[in-house]
Structure 1
């Protein structure tokens, strides 16, 4: 499947702490692979579906007037890896139907 590993990283890196730090605990680290269909199903369970056919999921009619779900991500463009990672996240979110 698709993974951010193809971008700026060289290996799967679950969790927020490097395994080289004394704070890292392997037992508390969970890796969730990219699962497009599973993610779409979770959004649908939450009531987020593409109701207007534009390819992006919408809020339910009573929430935000049925508008597209839109996420704003702020990234520092001064660092190439940050920008590359953000572009990978955006690409995966768009596949999911999130703008």
Structure 2
């Protein structure tokens, strides 16, 4: 599921990805919404445990950027899941020190 966007996402969500990757101190996640929807962005560790919620709330239509603070994360592979309305995108984030 890493690096995939579900089929329903095309109607509401366009996940543009994140940069830089690998991240050292932080990264920025960019996405576009075709309409205003509830959004939740959650970061998970390699075992699938929730590490932190990065964003949550009602977002307007348009382009958005969520900052991922990696300063307190250990080196490794993480997954973030972006849920916007009925759309979902999952991507891998590498943190390297």
Q: Same fold (TM over 0.5)?
A: no
Rg larger in 1 or in 2? 1
Greater RCO structure (CA 8 Å; 6+ sep): 2
TM-score w.r.t. the length of structure 2 is 0.28
More strand per residue? 2
* Bigger share in helix: 1
